[in-house]
Amino acid sequence: MRIIIGCDHRGVELKNQIIANLKNDGFEVVESSVKNNENDDYPDFAFDVANKVKNDDLGILICGNGIGISIAANKVKGIRCARVVDVDDVFKAKTHNGANIIAFGATNDIDKAMEMVNVFIATKYPTEERHLKRIEKIIKYENGEYNEL
Protein backbone atom coordinates (compact mmCIF):
# COMPACT_ATOMS: atom_id res chain seq x y z
CA MET A 1 0.00 0.00 0.00
CA ARG A 2 1.19 3.47 -0.90
CA ILE A 3 0.19 6.53 1.06
CA ILE A 4 -0.11 9.65 -1.04
CA ILE A 5 0.03 12.94 0.85
CA GLY A 6 -0.33 16.60 -0.02
CA CYS A 7 -1.14 19.92 1.56
CA ASP A 8 -1.38 23.59 0.87
CA HIS A 9 1.02 26.11 2.42
CA ARG A 10 -0.69 25.92 5.82
CA GLY A 11 0.03 22.22 6.28
CA VAL A 12 3.66 21.88 5.19
CA GLU A 13 5.14 21.42 8.66
CA LEU A 14 2.53 18.87 9.71
CA LYS A 15 2.82 17.02 6.37
CA ASN A 16 6.60 16.74 6.77
CA GLN A 17 6.21 15.34 10.29
CA ILE A 18 3.62 12.79 9.09
CA ILE A 19 5.87 11.71 6.21
CA ALA A 20 8.80 11.18 8.58
CA ASN A 21 6.66 9.09 10.95
CA LEU A 22 5.19 6.99 8.14
CA LYS A 23 8.60 6.33 6.59
CA ASN A 24 9.97 5.35 10.02
CA ASP A 25 7.11 2.82 10.20
CA GLY A 26 8.12 1.39 6.82
CA PHE A 27 5.34 2.79 4.64
CA GLU A 28 5.84 3.85 1.04
CA VAL A 29 4.94 7.53 0.98
CA VAL A 30 4.35 9.50 -2.20
CA GLU A 31 4.28 13.26 -1.84
CA SER A 32 2.24 15.51 -4.10
CA SER A 33 4.29 16.73 -7.02
CA VAL A 34 2.71 20.19 -6.72
CA LYS A 35 5.20 22.53 -5.08
CA ASN A 36 4.23 24.54 -2.02
CA ASN A 37 4.56 28.30 -1.84
CA GLU A 38 2.80 31.03 0.12
CA ASN A 39 0.27 31.58 -2.69
CA ASP A 40 -0.54 27.94 -3.48
CA ASP A 41 -4.15 26.75 -3.74
CA TYR A 42 -5.55 23.68 -1.99
CA PRO A 43 -7.50 22.37 -5.05
CA ASP A 44 -4.23 21.75 -6.89
CA PHE A 45 -2.99 19.44 -4.13
CA ALA A 46 -6.38 17.74 -3.81
CA PHE A 47 -6.53 16.97 -7.53
CA ASP A 48 -2.92 15.78 -7.65
CA VAL A 49 -3.22 13.44 -4.66
CA ALA A 50 -6.67 12.17 -5.67
CA ASN A 51 -5.49 11.35 -9.19
CA LYS A 52 -2.56 9.37 -7.75
CA VAL A 53 -4.71 7.23 -5.41
CA LYS A 54 -5.24 3.87 -7.10
CA ASN A 55 -6.44 0.45 -5.91
CA ASP A 56 -5.24 -0.08 -2.33
CA ASP A 57 -3.55 3.31 -1.97
CA LEU A 58 -4.65 5.74 0.71
CA GLY A 59 -4.49 9.51 0.61
CA ILE A 60 -3.97 12.21 3.22
CA LEU A 61 -4.74 15.86 2.57
CA ILE A 62 -4.12 18.85 4.81
CA CYS A 63 -5.28 22.45 4.48
CA GLY A 64 -6.45 25.14 6.88
CA ASN A 65 -9.39 23.13 8.18
CA GLY A 66 -9.67 20.18 5.79
CA ILE A 67 -13.00 21.21 4.30
CA GLY A 68 -12.04 22.84 1.03
CA ILE A 69 -9.40 20.28 0.13
CA SER A 70 -11.86 17.42 0.77
CA ILE A 71 -14.49 19.05 -1.45
CA ALA A 72 -11.95 19.39 -4.25
CA ALA A 73 -10.69 15.80 -3.87
CA ASN A 74 -14.23 14.46 -4.13
CA LYS A 75 -14.48 15.90 -7.65
CA VAL A 76 -12.05 13.21 -8.84
CA LYS A 77 -13.78 10.05 -10.03
CA GLY A 78 -13.36 7.13 -7.66
CA ILE A 79 -12.47 9.24 -4.65
CA ARG A 80 -14.32 9.17 -1.37
CA CYS A 81 -12.57 11.77 0.74
CA ALA A 82 -13.76 12.49 4.27
CA ARG A 83 -12.90 15.55 6.27
CA VAL A 84 -12.15 14.19 9.73
CA VAL A 85 -11.61 15.80 13.13
CA ASP A 86 -11.03 12.76 15.36
CA VAL A 87 -10.42 9.01 15.28
CA ASP A 88 -14.14 8.23 15.45
CA ASP A 89 -14.64 10.20 12.22
CA VAL A 90 -11.74 8.32 10.65
CA PHE A 91 -13.03 4.91 11.70
CA LYS A 92 -16.54 5.56 10.42
CA ALA A 93 -15.30 7.21 7.22
CA LYS A 94 -13.40 4.03 6.38
CA THR A 95 -15.78 1.33 7.70
CA HIS A 96 -19.06 2.97 6.69
CA ASN A 97 -18.14 5.06 3.65
CA GLY A 98 -15.10 3.33 2.23
CA ALA A 99 -13.06 6.54 2.36
CA ASN A 100 -9.81 6.25 0.46
CA ILE A 101 -8.61 9.74 1.43
CA ILE A 102 -8.88 11.65 4.68
CA ALA A 103 -8.50 15.40 5.02
CA PHE A 104 -7.92 17.41 8.15
CA GLY A 105 -6.80 20.80 9.36
CA ALA A 106 -3.23 21.98 9.68
CA THR A 107 -3.87 23.10 13.26
CA ASN A 108 -3.79 19.50 14.53
CA ASP A 109 -0.68 18.61 16.48
CA ILE A 110 1.43 15.71 15.24
CA ASP A 111 0.20 13.31 17.93
CA LYS A 112 -3.45 13.78 17.03
CA ALA A 113 -2.70 13.73 13.31
CA MET A 114 -0.74 10.48 13.59
CA GLU A 115 -3.46 8.94 15.72
CA MET A 116 -5.96 9.68 12.92
CA VAL A 117 -3.54 8.50 10.20
CA ASN A 118 -2.79 5.25 12.04
CA VAL A 119 -6.49 4.49 12.53
CA PHE A 120 -7.07 5.21 8.83
CA ILE A 121 -4.33 2.78 7.81
CA ALA A 122 -5.35 0.04 10.26
CA THR A 123 -9.10 0.18 9.68
CA LYS A 124 -10.61 -2.21 7.16
CA TYR A 125 -12.98 -1.19 4.38
CA PRO A 126 -16.69 -1.88 4.81
CA THR A 127 -17.95 -5.43 4.88
CA GLU A 128 -21.54 -4.92 6.03
CA GLU A 129 -24.06 -5.16 3.22
CA ARG A 130 -25.85 -1.92 4.18
CA HIS A 131 -22.62 0.06 3.81
CA LEU A 132 -21.57 -1.70 0.62
CA LYS A 133 -24.98 -0.98 -0.91
CA ARG A 134 -24.64 2.73 -0.20
CA ILE A 135 -21.12 2.91 -1.60
CA GLU A 136 -22.30 1.09 -4.72
CA LYS A 137 -25.01 3.73 -5.19
CA ILE A 138 -22.36 6.45 -5.02
CA ILE A 139 -20.21 4.65 -7.57
CA LYS A 140 -23.17 4.10 -9.88
CA TYR A 141 -24.22 7.75 -9.61
CA GLU A 142 -20.68 8.85 -10.35
CA ASN A 143 -20.72 6.64 -13.45
CA GLY A 144 -24.12 7.94 -14.60
CA GLU A 145 -25.76 4.57 -13.91
CA TYR A 146 -27.90 5.30 -10.83
CA ASN A 147 -31.53 5.88 -11.78
CA GLU A 148 -33.37 5.13 -8.54
CA LEU A 149 -34.13 8.71 -7.55
Phi, psi of 41 (to 5 degrees): -125, 130
7 catalytic, yes or no?
A: no
Helix axes 87-95, 110-122, angle to 10 degrees: 20
Write down the catalytic residue from 7, 9, 63, 81: 63
9 catalytic, yes or no?
A: no
Phi, psi of 78 (to 5 degrees): 90, -5
Q: Which stretches within the chain are classed as H helix? A: 12-24, 42-52, 67-73, 87-95, 110-122, 129-142
d(CA 45, CA 140): 26
Write down the catalytic residue from 7, 81, 96, 131: 96
Taking the CB of residue 13, how many other CB atoms lie within 10 A of it? 12
Catalytic residues: 63, 96
